[in-house]
Amino acid sequence: MPLNTPLECLKRDMPGVMAPLARLWVILPDARLVGGAVRDLLCGRGVADIDLATPHAPDVVTARLKDAGIKVVPTGLAHGTVTAVLDGRPFEITTLRRDEETDGRHATVAWTHDWREDAARRDFTINAMSCDSAGVVHDYFGGRADLAAGRVRFVGEARTRIVEDALRILRFFRFQARYGQSTPDAEAMAAITALAGLIDRLSVERIWSELRRILAGPHVIVTLEQMAGCGVLAHVLPPPWNIGLLARLIACGAPEDAVLRLAAMLEGDVQAVARHLRLSRADGAALAQARATPVPRPGMDKADIARLLADHGLRDLLWRAWLGQAAAVGAPDPAWDALRGVLVATAKPVFPLTGRDLLAAGCVPGAAMGQVLAQVRRWWLENGCTPTHAACQAHMRAVLGGPGPDGPRPDGT
């Protein structure tokens, strides 16, 4: 893993950031880049957010920024964080902190001027580095060496860090999957195994937020097996699981979507899992449809494809095809690729009739009208969704007992 100079990487990869960052350093010369930005710049990865820390209290930071004509948003004053907006880009600036009290979920903090004290409260050594305006990396706990070696270690004693915030258990596995290049740290795994039950104290929203990132990230199978082996996965997802099917899904080359991967590894009632994790309505529906939608299969004719598309969403059918391929083949397969290509290329058929057509034909509003509409739609589906509006009207009249047998054929002629 190449280790670069953070500011050199910023100049090369994000030149638009340098001017506003330089302006911030004029206003807050003691501020430093911190956390994930330093970590990812050092190892040559893309950086999404530029976060800074400063020894100045939030009110001082706010006053200095406003005096310089910079927009300030009080995004997290209780934790010492304000957001400066320069050139349309947000920069979070957080006052150095120390933990006064923690309960395993929340911390009461106090401001400090001690950079090492602030770094000591962070989770992992690779996240505890900072970089000043001269480009000097301040590394109090060996994070740079750990990053180069692919080691994910807690700052200080692993057990203490986990007791402070049990979410760090899940964060450990997420960072191990992304940055680890060897077996997980033995001290960390021992502490995680002993304290896995603390996960039950976390909100399911926080659990799903981390699990989602694990599922959509690299080395998913190894990570889930590690989580299962030390008793963590059982506190995250109600068993049973089918990690083997998930491995087959990944081997097929399926999209790196967390909900699709979750659908592959779950057995039993997926709606119960959706309720357990308090998934959003969209995620819960996607999870349910990934299991309930009929499986499209290679070799289906155009009429079969049309019927599926008429009744189901394209995304649901594509996901179902990936899951079907995982179960049937468990590897890349041109026939399944061709099937998905046909699904994507085929326009979704739309049933031509509406309630207005029945009203115009004299049908009385009510349950009977719905039954007639459903009967005509079944006929439309049976004919491969090809009958035109005129043909459907003719069939509707036949169903209603009126003229129609001599009307247009299903193809509209």
- List, in sequence order, every residue forming a beta bridge with 91; answer none if it has no partner: 84
Supply the pLDDT for residue 99.
77
The whole-model pTM stands at 0.88
Q: Which amino acid is at 55?
A: P
Task: Give helix 204-215 / helix 270-277 axis angle, nearest 10°.
Answer: 120
pLDDT tens, residue order, the chain (413 aa): 455 688 888 888 888 899 999 999 999 999 999 989 999 999 888 888 899 999 999 999 999 999 999 999 998 888 899 999 998 999 999 999 987 666 555 667 789 999 999 999 999 999 999 999 999 999 999 999 999 999 999 999 999 999 999 999 999 999 999 999 989 999 999 999 999 999 999 999 999 999 999 999 999 999 999 999 999 999 999 889 999 999 999 999 999 999 999 999 999 899 999 999 999 999 999 999 999 999 999 999 999 999 999 999 999 999 999 999 999 999 999 999 999 999 999 999 999 999 999 998 888 888 889 999 999 999 999 999 999 999 999 999 999 885 444 444 444 44
Supply the pLDDT for residue 100.
65
Supply the pLDDT for residue 409.
45
CA distance 327 to 338: 17
Those residues whose C-beta lies under 8 Å from the C-beta of residue 219, and which sit 6 or more positions away, are 177
User: Radius of gyration (Cα) for the chain, nearest Å?
Assistant: 29
CA distance 248 to 321: 13
Q: Cβ atoms within 10 A of the Cβ of 413, count?
A: 8
CA distance 352 to 373: 11
CA distance 282 to 291: 15
The closest of 128, 59, 65 to 95, measured between CA atoms, is 59
CA distance 395 to 377: 10
Going along the chain from its start, the domains and CATH numbers come out as: 1-149 (3.30.460.10), 156-235 (1.10.3090.10), 237-349 (no CATH), 355-400 (no CATH)
Q: Cβ atoms within 10 A of the Cβ of 59, count?
A: 11
The closest of 303, 315, 290 to 349, measured between CA atoms, is 303
CA distance 14 to 19: 10
Supply the pLDDT for residue 411.
44
Those residues whose C-beta lies under 8 Å from the C-beta of residue 21, and which sit 6 or more positions away, are 10, 50, 91
